[in-house]
Amino acid sequence: MSKHLDQIVWKSIHERPLPKGNPRGLTNYLDLAQLVATGEDWETAWSAFLHEFMLFRQASFFQYPPPESFSRGYRAMLAGTAEVLCDEFQLPVPLWVHEPQYIMPELWDLYEWMFTGMTDEQNHRRIESSDPLYLKHGVVWRRRDLITL
Question: Domain locations in the chain?
Answer: 26-146
Burial code of 92-127, b = ≥16 C-beta within 10 A, e = fewer?
A: ebbeebeeeebbbeeebbbeeeeeeeeeeeeeeebe
The whole-number pLDDT of residue 42 equals 92
pLDDT at 118: 67
Q: What is this structure's pTM?
A: 0.91
The answer to whether residue 148 scores a pLDDT higher than 60 is yes
Give the tens place of pLDDT for each residue, 14-24: 999 999 988 88
pLDDT in tens, 91-138: 999 999 999 999 999 998 876 655 566 677 777 788 898 999 999 999
Nearest-10 crossing angle of helices 42-56, 29-37? 150
AA identity, residue 56: F
Distances in Å between the Cα of 130 and the Cα atoms of 15, 16, 56, 84, 107 are 25, 26, 25, 11, 11
pLDDT tens for 24-78 read: 888 999 999 999 999 999 999 999 999 999 999 999 999 999 999 999 999 999 9
What's the half-sphere exposure (Cβ side, CA atoms, 13 Å) at 3? 3
